[in-house]
Amino acid sequence: MAGDLSNQINIGKDTETKLMQVGIDSYEKLVAAGSEGAFIRLQAIDPGACLSLLYGLEGAIEGVKWNELQPDKKQALQQFYKTTKKK
């Protein structure tokens, strides 16, 4: 199924490769994991995973560019992101 994820908005080859490394090898699996679940998995292999990646995952699920996410969704994702950062 290579290529399935990178055909989605906001998902490039690098992100697709990393998603596949954590067992998310299709758009359906990304949707099932959700942006937060997928992000947690990605952090396990890439501790430098950033907020923009989280936005991109959510945007891919919603089918919009990450910068077009609704402000309340961005705020919720920011709060989630803060909880994932080690202090």
Segments forming the whole domain that contains residue 29: 13-84
In a domain, 47, yes or no: yes
Please tell me the predicted confidence (pLDDT) of residue 46.
Answer: 94
Q: Residue 4: its pLDDT value, please?
A: 83
Q: How many domains does the chain have?
A: 1
Per-residue confidence band for 55, with pLDDT thresholds at 50, 70 and 90? very high
**What are 3-20's pLDDT values in tens digits?**
589 899 999 999 999 999
Instruction: Examine residue 7 and state whether it is found in any structural domain, yes or no.
Output: no
Is 2 within the bounds of a domain? no
Predicted structure pTM score? 0.92
Instruction: Supply the CATH number for residue 78's domain.
Output: 1.10.150.20
Here the tokens at position 27 are: 């758009």
Is residue 1 a part of any domain in this protein? no
Could you give the residue ranges of the DSSP H alpha helices within the chain?
13-21, 27-45, 51-62, 71-84
Residue 8 lies in a domain: no
